[in-house]
């Protein structure tokens, strides 16, 4: 579904249709945690200007976006009863732009995962093949966009949590520059890596969404003062002279020949459009430690970020004989084993005796990796790689952690966008075995326009603008 | 055995800001429980901290006044631990890069002026306040997130007196700066004392105890002195000191054990990712430093050199900032500084005590007191009359009105005085004779007679002068 297909003369009907569709798909996809009552929003809309960029547009929020008075669980048992007392910054932005929030979407528990198998409400299924995973952690938002429920769905991205499910579900997944969109009111995973982003089915819609969501928020000190451009107005698919770098470590690590072929075809098309596409080689040793580096940094921050979830002031509470016992019991029962394991890893890397060899070392490696990327982007407009090394796997074949070199690089390279904070976007590039695949682009800080322009050219080549899938029920 | 006492002090001081360290919620002492909180103070999911610029400004003021080196790159860190008064499960503090390092405080010790070195001064946020009762524990989050500075001294103090002098001096400096209320009894200034003993002549530190909950400067001294006694008795008996946290029990006048310290807790400090380093502009820092309020030592100096006050008077005034400020106001309207100091220190303080007023309830207009002092000096009223006038000033009255209403004006009318003097001289020929024979004290007698005749209203100085003149004519 695209923004342009919204009938502004019959918003109520459009919104109710979207909800109806999501409800019909719920048994097959299991993408929604909470349906939002839209009556009040529809009433408020009557007072608003129909020219607003998202006037009457149904949108979905990942369930880690705080919505005042509406259940927000981050797909964790710990927050299964949590009703926020305030709206996230982007909720205000969306509502001010006329959007109607229709649902809160499933995710990996607290954003910590890449499969969406860990959600408290159960796995989310891929709309192209419901026996396959959606990917995560923004799985619910990705599949609802892919299934044509809403034109835009909000996600968050700490490792590749928007860009990987985007590839698996054949939609655009945009993670803008760190600081471009305020994180105020987003239940965090790892603050220095967390980004707010979104899914759409066309580059044009992606342009509109970023213009709405971006901008300085005084409640987020990391949010940028950089002016927000009108991306749609500047959209230009002319590739003449554009310098694009293929990170060959990533392409070399991929073994699936069909995915390679899909990528190579697209590269040829880009060259024919006049783009200068060249291979660059990054330090392989550094690239192969992206995952452990990420694992240490993300979990260290996460263990502190989630220390507020103690059962004392909100969320699930499990009784005990002392305050300490209440905390221990609540946290033991409230988090899944995998989350607790991650907290242990994060904590361990922060112990005073381990900080030098784990946490601080990981920070240094992060800096070195960012230097590698920066070096490439000093001379190129963007990098281009296959987003994933495979199509969406079946649950039993999906892994979150594996130490094969293929997995380490081919499945984790998009974390570079989180380490650096540089804008990164996944866009559908076609199909392999009837499942969608995507390519990933990364550009200089605050140069989202280049991503959109490249994306526009790719969209023209693939003909996948507005592509959604009819789920076989 | 002879022991040397080694004392280091950590002071937490609430900064006087309108809002909290990292949230926009108001900071109001004594507000109803949990009425000054927002989602940030409660540590709700998704909140982010935003540094309070005013708190940084106050911290820069404090660091400057305490002679610290200021780090213009402000960074914060997380201190991680679970406790019900810590909503986020971590405290945002400055572990790795304190706003101020080094510095010192000068105190008066038995050996003269002594410098107590500071280790650091850093910014952080306060925890919530807990109330334990039979029903359980109640938590008031109003205090959660209140801006604090922590001032850590080196272990430079050697006695209870020095410890008390250090806290007193620090309190006075912070009070004059206006960065904090520094009320120990209300907890806006809190003091943890680390104390250990070692054999005289040795340099290694002994096992220390930490004393908490000291709600007055007097108790700092008492607690330290008790602890010195307790520790030295233990050591004399060949026992060892247990590293623990103790609190001062006012009723028992003793320190009692609160909890043992089981090794050092690992707080897993790491840089706060939600606050990127903030570069303070050099101009901004300079602007703050150049406009520091006058500090206590400087004011004592000024009172001595500009107003000619002695050590004692200057000290008494400066010890009480509000009294000193009042005194400064009086001095704007009179040049009689010594008299102004006396009246402020003695009469005003006594009158306030009598009326059970605090300094901020003082009804006395400093200009009125100055006017009264000027009238005394000009001989318009006697010092005895002044006391009556002052009583009325304390009721808010203008001294000029009082003098007129009570008909107190001293007789300075020469014609009238001369008439009285000549009358007295006529009645006392013996005194005139005595004077002519060189007995000067006769004058005193005659002045007394005139005063009596005028019912105390004659201006004594003028009377004295006129009598001399009249006598020489006879």
B39, B84, B270: residue with CB nearest A85: B39
Task: Determine, yes or no, domain membership for B395.
Answer: yes
Stretch B141-162: mean pLDDT, rounded? Answer: 97
Q: How many whole angstroms separate alpha carbon B349 and alpha carbon B301? A: 22
CA–CA distance, B340 with B327 (Å, rounded to integer): 7
Residues B444 and B396 in one domain: no
Mean pLDDT of A62-78: 98
Q: Kind and range of the H or E element at A197?
A: strand A195-200
Chain A residue with CA closest to B42: the answer is A313
Which residues on B lie below 8 Å from A347 (Cβ)?
A: 268
Do B274 and A221 count as a contact with CB atoms less than 8 A apart? yes
Of B50, B273, B276, the CB nearest to A219: B50
User: What's residue B263's pLDDT?
Assistant: 67
Residue B37 sits in the same domain as residue B119? yes
How large a percentage of chain A has pLDDT more than 70?
99
Q: Enumerate chain B positions whose Cβ falls within 8 A of a Cβ in A.
A: 39, 42-51, 78, 80, 82, 84, 87-90, 137, 266, 268-270, 273-276
Percentage of residues of chain A with pLDDT beyond 90 = 95
How far apart CA A114 and CA A393 sit, in angstroms, is 12
- For the segment A377-385, the average pLDDT, to the nearest whole number, is 98
Q: Structure tokens of B332? A: 């704007």
Tell me: do B384 and B421 sit in the same domain: no
Residue-level pLDDT at B412: 62
Tokens describing residue B224: 């330290």
**What is the SS3 assignment for chain B?**
CCEEEEEEEEEEEECCCCECCCCCCECCCCCCCCCCCCCCCCCCCCCCCCCCHHHHHHHHHHHHHCCCEECCEECCEEEECCCCCCCCCEEEECCCCCCEECCEEEEEECCEEEEEEEEEEEEEECCCEEEEECCEEEEECCCCCCEEEEEEECCCECCHHHHHHHHHHHHHHHHHHCCCCCCCCCCCEEEEEEEEEEECCCCCCCCCEEEECCCCHHHHHHHHHHHHHHHHHHHHCCCCCCCEEEEEECCCCEEEEEEECCCCCCCCCEECCCCCCEECCHHHHHHHHHCCCCCHHHHHHHHHHCCCCCHHHHHHHHHCHHHHHHHHHHHCCCCCHHHHHHHHHHHHHHHHHHHCCCHHHCCCCHHHHHHHHHHHHCCCCCHHHHHHHHHHHCCCCCHHHHHHHCCCCCECCHHHHHHHHHHHHHHCHHHHHHHHCCCCHHHHHHHHHHHHHCCCCECHHHHHHHHHHHHHHC
Tell me if chain B has a CB within 8 Å of the CB of A405: no
Contact A300 B50 (CB under 8 A): no
**Nearest chain A residue (CA) to B141:** A313
pLDDT for A400 beyond 80:
no
- Taking the model in full, what pTM does it have? 0.91
In tens, the pLDDT along B233-290 reads 999 999 999 999 999 998 999 999 988 866 678 999 999 999 999 999 999 999 999 9
Interface pTM (ipTM) of the complex? Answer: 0.96
CA distance B57 to B344: 33
Record: contact A301-B49, CB cut-off 8 A: no
pLDDT above 90 for A382: yes
Residue B410's pLDDT band, with cuts at 50, 70 and 90, is: low
Given the residues A137, A211, A390, A424, select the one marked as catalytic.
A137
What's the pLDDT at A346?
97
Task: Give the residue from chain B lying closest to A185, CA to CA.
Answer: B46
Average pLDDT on A110-128 reads 97
Domain containing residue B424: CATH number: 1.10.10.410
Q: Is A161 a catalytic residue?
A: yes
Measured CA to CA, the distance from residue B234 to residue B222 in angstroms comes to 18
Find the CB nearest B48 among A74, A183, A304: A183
Average pLDDT over residues B411-420: 75
Which tens digits make up the pLDDT trace of B301-315? 999 999 999 999 999
Q: What is the pLDDT of residues A287-310, one digit of tens each?
A: 999 999 999 999 999 999 999 999
Active-site choice (A106, A141, A161, A202): A161
pLDDT at A137 over 70: yes
| B51 contacts A301? CB cut-off 8 A | no
Domain presence at residue B323: yes
Q: Mark yes or no for CB contact B274/A222 under 8 Å.
A: yes
Report yes or no on B289 lying in a domain.
no
What residues in A contact B145, CB-CB < 8 Å?
none
Residues 99 through 138 of chain A touching chain B, CB cutoff 8 Å? none
Residue A93 token pair: 């932005």
**Do B348 and B316 share a structural domain?**
yes
Partners of A384 in beta bridges: A246, A441
DSSP A79: G
Contact A82 B45 (CB under 8 A): yes
B288 lies in a domain? Answer: no
Query: Cβ of A222 and B266 within 8 Å?
Result: no
- At B406, is the pLDDT very low, low, confident or very high (cuts 50, 70, 90)? confident
pLDDT tens for B23-80 read: 999 999 889 999 999 999 999 999 999 999 999 999 999 999 999 999 999 999 999 9
Chain B CB contacts of A192 under 8 Å are: 273
Q: Where are the domains of chain A?
A: 3-237+425-462
Residue of chain A whose Cα is closest to the Cα of B137: A323
Residue B57 lies inside a defined structural domain of this protein? yes
Q: What percent of chain B has pLDDT over 90?
A: 75
Q: Name the active-site residue from A21, A62, A164, A467.
A: A62
Convert the pLDDT of each residue in B312-359 to its tens digit. 999 999 999 999 999 999 999 999 999 999 999 999 999 999 989 988
B102 shares its domain with B57: yes
Residue B244 has φ and ψ, to the nearest 5°, of: -160, 170
> Which residue on chain A is closest to B78 by alpha carbon?
A304
B285 part of a folded domain = no
B394 and B255 inside one domain: no
On whether any CB of chain B is under 8 Å from the CB of A191, the answer is yes
Q: Do A245 and A380 meet the contact criterion of CB atoms below 8 Å apart?
A: yes
pLDDT reading at B411 higher than 70: no
Pick from B224, B250, B279: which residue ends a domain? B279
B59 shares a domain with B191: yes
- Same domain? For B133 and B270 the reply is yes
What is the C-alpha to C-alpha distance for residues B424 and B444, in angstroms, rounded to an integer? 13
Q: Kindly determine whether residue B43 and residue A218, on different chains, have CB atoms separated by under 8 Å.
A: no
Q: B325: buried, middle or exposed (CB in 10 Å: 19+, 13-18, 0-12)?
A: middle
Contacts of B9 (CB under 8 A, 6+ apart): B152, B153, B157, B163, B166, B167, B191, B192, B193, B194
Single residue among B364, B380, B405 that ends a domain in this structure = B405
Q: Tell me what the mean pLDDT of segment B367-374 comes to.
A: 94
A190, A310, A351: residue with CB nearest B266? A351
pLDDT in tens, A237-269: 999 999 999 999 999 999 999 999 999 999 999
Distances in whole angstroms, Cα of residue A274 to Cα of each of A410, A457, B51: 27, 11, 49
Is the pLDDT assigned to residue B454 strictly greater than 80? no
The chain B residue lying nearest A356, using CA atoms, is B270
Same domain, B123 and B41: yes
Tens digits of residue pLDDT in A455-473: 999 999 999 999 999 998 8
**CB pair distance less than 8 Å for B82 and A347:** no
Task: Select from 3.30.110.30, 3.90.1300.10, 3.40.50.300, 3.90.1150.10 the CATH code of A3-237+425-462.
Answer: 3.90.1300.10
Are B252 and B330 contained in the same domain?
no
Q: Quick check: A64 and B268 CB within 8 A?
A: no
Q: So what's the pLDDT on residue A134?
A: 98
Chain B residues touching A314 at Cβ < 8 A: 42, 44
pLDDT at B213 (0 to 100)? 80
CB contact under 8 A, B84 and A312: yes
Quickly tell me which residue has 């809403």 as its tokens.
Answer: A150
Residue A350: pLDDT above 80?
A: yes
CB pairs under 8 A between A and B: 99
pLDDT band at A49 (very low <50, low <70, confident <90, very high): very high
| Whether residue B364 sits in one domain with residue B270 | no
Look over chain A and give the mean of its residue pLDDT values, rounded to a whole number.
Answer: 96
Task: List, as ranges, residues 36-65 from A with C-beta within 8 Å of B.
Answer: 64
Task: Give how many domains chain B has, as a whole number.
Answer: 3
> What are the backbone angles phi and psi of residue A344, rounded to the nearest 5°?
-65, -45
Using pLDDT thresholds of 50, 70 and 90, give the confidence band for residue B111.
confident
Q: What is the average per-residue pLDDT within B153-169?
A: 97
Q: State the pLDDT at residue B378.
A: 83
d(CA A73, CA A109): 9
CB A363 within 8 Å of CB A301: no
Q: What pLDDT does B132 receive?
A: 87
More confident residue, B223 or B462: B223
Residues of B in contact with A222 (CB under 8 A): 48, 274-276
Does A314 contact B89 at a Cβ distance shorter than 8 Å?
no
CB-nearest to A187 from B46, B87, B270 is: B46
Q: Residue B268: its chain A contacts at CB < 8 A?
A: 304, 347, 350-352
Tokens, residue B128: 């919530």
Residue B286 lies in a domain: no
Range of the domain at B100: 3-279
Q: How far is it, in rounded angstroms, from Cα A114 to Cα A161?
A: 6
Q: Is the pLDDT of residue A410 over 80?
A: yes
CB contact under 8 A, B80 and A303: yes
pLDDT in tens, A417-450: 999 999 999 999 999 999 999 999 999 999 999 9
Instruction: Reply yes or no on whether A224 is catalytic.
Output: no
B262 and B171 belong to one structural domain: yes
- Is B244 within a domain? yes
Beta carbons within 8 Å of A364's beta carbon, 6+ residues apart: none
């Amino acid at each position: 579904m695209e923004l342009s297909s919204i009938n502004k003369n019959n918003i109520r009907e459009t919104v109710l249709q979207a909800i109806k569709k999501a409800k019909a798909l719920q048994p097959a996809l299991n993408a929604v945690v909470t349906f939002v009552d839209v009556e009040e929003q529809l009433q408020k809309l009557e007072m608003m200007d129909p020219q607003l960029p998202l006037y009457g547009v149904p949108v979905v929020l990942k369930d880690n976006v705080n919505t005042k008075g509406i259940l927000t669980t981050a797909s964790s048992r710990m927050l299964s009863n949590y009703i926020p007392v305030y709206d996230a910054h982007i909720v205000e932005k969306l509502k001010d732009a006329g959007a109607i929030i229709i649902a809160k979407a499933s995710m990996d528990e607290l954003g910590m995962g890449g499969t969406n198998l860990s959600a408290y409400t159960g796995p989310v299924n891929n709309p192209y093949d419901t026996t396959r995973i959606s990917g995560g952690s923004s799985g619910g938002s990705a599949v609802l966009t892919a299934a044509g429920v809403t034109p835009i769905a909000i996600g968050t991205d700490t490792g590749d949590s928007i860009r990987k499910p985007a590839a698996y579900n054949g939609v655009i997944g945009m993670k803008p520059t760190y600081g471009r969109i305020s994180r105020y009111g987003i239940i965090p995973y790892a603050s220095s890596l967390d980004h707010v982003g979104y899914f759409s089915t066309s580059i044009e819609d992606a342009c509109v969404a970023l213009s709405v969501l971006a901008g300085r928020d005084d409640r987020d000190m990391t949010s940028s003062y950089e002016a927000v451009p009108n991306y749609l107005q500047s959209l230009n698919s002319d590739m003449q002279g554009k310098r694009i770098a293929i990170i060959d470590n990533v392409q070399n690590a991929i073994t699936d020949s069909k995915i390679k072929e899909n990528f190579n075809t697209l590269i040829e098309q880009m060259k024919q459009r006049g783009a200068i596409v060249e291979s660059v080689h990054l330090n392989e040793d550094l690239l192969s430690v992206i995952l452990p580096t990420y694992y240490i940094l993300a979990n260290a921050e996460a263990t502190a970020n989630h220390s507020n979830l103690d059962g004392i002031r909100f969320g699930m509470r499990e009784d005990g004989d002392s305050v300490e016992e209440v905390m221990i019991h609540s946290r033991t029962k409230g988090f899944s084993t995998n989350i607790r394991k991650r907290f242990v890893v994060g904590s361990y890397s922060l112990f005073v005796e381990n900080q030098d060899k784990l946490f601080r070392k990981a920070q240094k490696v992060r800096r070195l990796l960012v230097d590698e990327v920066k070096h490439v982007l000093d001379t190129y407009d963007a990098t281009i790689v296959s987003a994933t090394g495979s199509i969406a796997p079946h649950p039993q074949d999906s892994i979150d952690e594996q130490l094969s070199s293929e997995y380490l690089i081919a499945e984790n390279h998009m974390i570079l966008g989180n380490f650096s904070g540089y804008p990164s976007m996944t866009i559908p590039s076609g199909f392999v075995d009837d499942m969608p695949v995507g390519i990933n682009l990364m550009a200089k800080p605050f140069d989202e326009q280049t991503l959109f322009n490249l994306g526009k050219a790719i969209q023209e080549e693939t003909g996948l603008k507005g592509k959604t899938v009819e789920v076989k029920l | 055995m002879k022991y040397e006492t080694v004392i280091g002090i950590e002071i937490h001081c609430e900064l006087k800001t309108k809002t909290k360290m990292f949230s926009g919620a108001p900071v109001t002492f004594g507000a109803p429980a949990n009425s000054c909180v927002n989602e940030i103070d409660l540590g709700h999911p998704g909140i982010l901290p935003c540094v309070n610029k005013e708190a940084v400004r106050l911290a820069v003021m404090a660091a400057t006044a305490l002679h610290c080196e200021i780090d213009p790159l402000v960074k914060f860190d997380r201190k991680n631990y679970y406790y019900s008064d810590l909503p986020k499960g971590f405290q945002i503090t400055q572990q790795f890069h304190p706003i101020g390092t080094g510095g010192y405080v000068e105190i008066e010790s038995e050996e003269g002026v002594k410098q107590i070195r500071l280790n650091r001064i850093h910014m952080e946020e306060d925890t919530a306040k807990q109330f334990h009762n039979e029903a359980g524990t109640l938590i008031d989050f109003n205090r959660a997130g209140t801006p604090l500075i922590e001032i850590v001294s080196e272990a430079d103090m050697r006695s209870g007196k020095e410890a008390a002098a250090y806290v007193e001096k620090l309190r006075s400096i912070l009070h004059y700066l206006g960065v904090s209320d520094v009320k120990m009894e209300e907890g806006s200034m809190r003091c943890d004392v680390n104390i250990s003993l070692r054999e005289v002549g040795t340099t290694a530190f002994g096992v220390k105890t930490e004393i908490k909950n000291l709600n007055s400067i007097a108790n700092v001294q008492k607690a330290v002195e008790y602890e010195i006694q307790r520790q030295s008795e233990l050591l004399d008996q060949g026992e060892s000191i247990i590293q623990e946290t103790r609190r001062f029990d006012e009723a028992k006048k003793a320190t009692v054990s609160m909890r043992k310290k089981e090794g050092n807790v690992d707080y897993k400090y790491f840089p706060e990712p939600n606050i990127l380093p903030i570069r303070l502009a050099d101009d901004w820092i300079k602007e703050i430093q150049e406009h520091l309020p006058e500090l206590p030592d400087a004011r004592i100096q000024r009172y001595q050199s500009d107003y000619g006050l002695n050590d004692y008077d200057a000290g008494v005034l400066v010890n009480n900032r509000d009294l000193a400020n009042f005194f400064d106001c009086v001095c704007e309207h009179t040049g009689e500084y010594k008299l102004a100091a006396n009246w402020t220190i003695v009469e005003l303080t006594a009158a306030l005590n009598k009326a059970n007023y605090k300094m901020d309830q003082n009804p006395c207009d400093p200009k009125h007191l100055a006017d009264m002092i000027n009238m005394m000096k000009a001989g318009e009223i006697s010092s005895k009359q002044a006391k009556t006038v002052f009583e009325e000033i304390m009721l808010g009255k203008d001294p000029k009105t009082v003098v007129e209403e009570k008909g107190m004006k001293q007789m300075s009318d020469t014609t009238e005085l001369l008439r009285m003097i000549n009358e007295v001289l006529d009645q006392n020929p013996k005194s005139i004779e005595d004077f002519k024979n060189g007995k000067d004290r006769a004058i005193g007698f005659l002045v007394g007679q005139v005063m009596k005749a005028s019912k105390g209203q004659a201006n004594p100085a003028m009377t004295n002068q006129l009598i001399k003149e009249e006598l020489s004519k006879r």
